[in-house]
Structure 1
Amino acid sequence: MTDPARGAVAEGVWEFDPQGAVDPGARDRVISDIGHSGARDVVVLAHGWNNDPGVAGEFDARFFALLREAAPEARMARVGVRWPAMRFLDESAPHVPEEQRRAALDALPALDAATARALVDAFPASGDVVHELCDLLARRPAGGLALDDFGTLLRRLVELRLTDARAEFASDAEDDLLPQHDPVMLFDDTAGVCGEFAAALDEAREAVEATHHRPERIERHSEGDADVSHHGTHAESAVLGPRAPDALSSLLDQKGPVQTAGGFGDERFATGHDELWRGAHELLRQVAGHTFRRRAGVVGTYGLGPVLALLARNVPGVRIHLVGHGFGARLVAYAVRNQAEDSRAVASMVLLQPALSHFAFADHMPHQMRGGGALAGCLERLAGPLVCCYSHNDLELGLMHPLATRMIGDSASLSGIDRKWGALGHDGAQASASFTAIDLAEMLRSGMGERQCVNVDVSEVVREGDPPAGAHNDVFHPDLARLVVQVAGIGRED
């Protein structure tokens, strides 16, 4: 429909299953609506929260409302992406009713009814396993055998055969030399893993109570070592991106090989019965996240990617702008990776707190003998800018992500866990000569200029949120909507 005061508007939803399949009729209706609307720009928004249509719809509605305010006259269509992911309701999120979060917090370390239902829906083929996991968290039996059972159930929930095509989406390394793509948290001693996550939760609370502002440190190649922090060395890469001045936790300072049977846990970690089960709840959340991370790559590659190509063919001249948050950022990035090299169908991409390795766009993986990041080739498939928004206040990506993504048999080298397995949404794209760093205020003031790829420090606005996720979900800000509009060139005549 057309509103002369606000330009041409079309709104729709594309919903994908875990393999990336979409209903052809629903897909084509949205594309047809976009074509008939006369929209010049299409914003496609993907995020990782789909506990139910209402929760997913509220996220879309809030962010799209901010876009309308930022570009009220633009001829802009808006499409939300739905896919099978979920969030644990004890996480703080502005668009979720507080009473839901309160019920989840009151149930800890057990799962509240709503979160348990969402987990069953996210793993429809493993309902019995989910029910057993929920039962163990509710009863919290004494003794190590119960935790061993918990670990066994988690492996049953998410393990894939190495020949399964979905296994390749567990890592953001293009030429990963490792034969195993499952994280060590699935195979190490479960009690030790739970103890480490319990300790991480304590440190996350301390981080929230401390200052929200963590100044960035930019490390650049030079002849000497004067500007090298203990978080990275020039031997890793000649180009390093923005870094927080200190690791969020001493847990991230661990170095050396990561192996099973003792890689997690030591005398520093909580060993009390209640603390271990509190860590078990966080372990379940991170293991579920491992599946959603992998699933986002599948849906982006086999689902959204082909749909974007179809949209470009059927509505010639339309400009497609991708916005992804969290796991949704991984989804849209892999959708671009799947475009034909000469398609140039996607005009811009903005990643908000992306749950991706900070080496995903690397020209060369600093810790590997060969190969770059899995998304290094995306730049050749974009017609315009790529912006990565990161915040040092994001505890989910700054603390929990590095602990949860360590791979079996891999090594943190000499630089610590956060350097090797750090996340894009915490400290920006690393080891890529294509990216330059800038803060949000300067970006809004000066724009992209001649740059195609930019790391934007949004720590000043993305700062609020309770542990364990911290500020990860704090993305409903007018300045972020203005950033999307600016990067996309929405409303600009050219």
Structure 2
Amino acid sequence: MAFPGDLSNFPFFPLRFNKDAQAVDQGEEQALKTWLQSQGPVELIVFSHGWNNDEQDALALYQHMFASFRSVLNQNHVPAMNGRNIAVAGVLWPSKKFADEENIPGGAAGAVAVDPLADAFAGAEAAGDPAILARLKELTDKEELTLPEQDEAVGLLRQLLATLPASSEEGSANVQAAANDGGTFSNDVFVQQLVGEGTMPGSDASEGGAAGLFSNPMGDLTDAVRKGLNLFTFYAMRERAGIIGAQALNPLLARISALANVRIHLIGHSFGARLVTAAAAASGLFHPSSMTLLQAAFSHYGFSTLYDGHSNGAFRNLLLEQRIKGPVLITHTPNDHAVGWAYPIAARLRSIIASSIDGGPNDPFGGLGRNGAQKTPQAISKQLLASGSAGYTFPAAGGVLNLESTPFVNGHSGITNDAVAYAILSAMV
């Protein structure tokens, strides 16, 4: 691949996986193992990007992050890491549609699309029904639509959303149920909830179609389709991250951990946080020395005990069984609108059926990257510290440190700075 074999003088090894959780090139694992076997003790950082950028963007994320690592080490802010042999394995997974000119897309969810609707269609191609997407694109490309065509477009969008991988913890079950329940409420009500608008003057849900909604037909329809396709892609990629983590990265790291001279540290950003968490939770065949979840895009109840009175979080056993030898760090901030954007939509769609929520710590569908680990007895909360400050006291194995990161993380992708690097390196000691 066209990328230097180091990041700020840290040896770098790509680990690429396809959408079916298979290695793109078996030689990549072998290259890493061969290098590790030639070394003394190694601190191996395994980093996974999240959603929405291509391979080059993911590599840029890694490059910027490890420039911050180098800066912290050069300033001797973590003296215990002096002389440690640190290497990086960068996971690259298809978190969006394959681009013709790229080997594999990845992403940190940071790019601004030139054409948001085209970008939404491109993302949905990785998981949506091609025939439905093609017809929906044909309709949205028109300058004007008849009322039956408007209804058809909304119906096609609902067909797509009805196929979401459902998870009651993270809201997709709400979307799936609302999309399927065409007998109870009309297309115009569905779109009103999807785009977050109240009933428009003159609208009448009893008409049973889109006639009451589209006072601005193409603008309203375009917004609904864009948000719906992004939501569809959000949940589909969330599911893919878990599968690749459990079925591809987990066995690879189990093989790597058999080498006596390596300590593994997991880092995941966005959906990459779900990927590395799923890898650690899938079996007890390897035990990472630390795990850091940067603006994680999965449920803030992921590690919880009885979050609703009778259910535990999906990854609760990771803490109970002390799969991580050291601490679990979680950065979170209300600045992260990307983590929370899907949950209010899921709430509005659910409100057609049952209830409503707001995205904060008490929101049953809230995200780790916004709120930190909730209803998790092993979690303690502190502020993310500037590099060179007094340092951290970490919880024991099986413990979680929620790091309120607002002073240093200005959004979902604002993670490549010395303060974040300082926290991770401190946890690696």
Bucket of the pairwise TM-score, normalised by the shorter protein:
0.7 to 0.9
8 Å contact kept, 1:39–1:77: no
Decide whether the 8 Å contact of 1:66 with 1:481 is kept in 2. Answer: yes
| Distance 1:59-1:358 versus aligned 2 partners, 3 A rule | same
SS in 2 for 1:472: coil
Distance 2:423 2:32 in 1: 26
Query: Per the alignment, do residues 427 and 16 of structure 1 end up closer, same or farther by CA in structure 2, a change over 3 Å counting?
Result: same
Change (3 A) 1:420 1:294: same
Is residue 326–residue 354 contact of structure 1 (8 Å, CA) maintained in 2?
Answer: yes
Alignment correspondent of 1:164: none
Q: Number of aligned pairs?
A: 387
Find the aligned partners of 2:132 and 2:37 in 1 and give their Cα distance.
45
Q: Deviation of residue 77 (structure 1)?
A: 0.9
Q: How do residues 316-355 of structure 1 correspond to structure 2 at under 5 angstroms?
A: 316-340=260-284, 343-355=285-297
Partner AA of 2:191 in structure 1? C
Q: CA RMSD in A?
A: 3.9
Residues 1:325 and 1:171: Cα distance change in structure 2 (over 3 Å): farther
Q: Does 1:474 align with 2:414?
A: yes
Structure 1: give runs of 5+ residues left out of the alignment. 162-166, 201-249, 251-260, 464-470, 490-494
Distance 1:50 1:407 in 2: 24
Per the alignment, residue 31 of structure 1 pairs with 33
- Quote the residue 1:390 is aligned against: 332
Where relative contact order (Cα < 8 A, 6+ residues apart) is larger, the structure is 1
Aligned to 1:196: 193
- SS of the residue corresponding to residue 139 of structure 1 reads coil
Alignment map for 1:392-411 (pairs within 5 Å) = 392-404=334-346
Identify the residue that residue 85 of structure 2 maps to in structure 1.
75
Distance 1:411 1:129, change over 3 A: closer
Contact kept, 8 Å, 2:162 with 2:180, in 1: the verdict is no
Equivalent position amino acid for 2:269 in 1: H
Kindly state the Cα deviation for residue 403 of structure 1 after the two structures are TM-superposed: 2.3
Give the 3-state SS of the residue equivalent to 1:389 in structure 2: strand
- Equivalents in 2 of 1:288, 1:303: separation in Å? 21
CA distance in 2, matches of 1:37, 1:191: 63
Q: Write the mapping of 1:205-284 to structure 2, written as runs, cut at 5 A.
A: 272-273=216-217, 274-284=219-229
* Correspondence for 1:376: 316
Distance in 2 of aligned mates of 1:288 and 1:415: 22
Report if the CA contact (8 A) 1:13-1:79 is conserved: yes
Q: Distance in 2 between matches of 1:429 and 1:151?
A: 36
Report if the CA contact (8 A) 1:308-1:345 is conserved: no
Secondary structure at the residue paired with 2:330? Answer: strand
Change over 3 Å in CA distance of 1:476–1:35 after alignment to 2: same
Tell me which residue corresponds to 1:17. Answer: 18
SS in 2 for 1:10: strand
Q: Please, what TM-score do these two structures have when normalized by structure 1?
A: 0.67
1:362–1:430: 8 Å Cα contact kept in structure 2? yes
Residue-by-residue CA offset, 1:43-79 (whole Å, 9 max, x unaligned): 1111224643222222222222222222355411101
Q: Distance in 2 between matches of 1:302 and 1:371?
A: 24
Aligned to 1:139: 142
Report percent identity of matched pairs.
24
TM-score (norm 2): 0.77
Tell me, in whole angstroms, the C-alpha distance in 2 between the residues paired with 1:387 and 1:454. 5
Is residue 194–residue 277 contact of structure 1 (8 Å, CA) maintained in 2? Answer: no
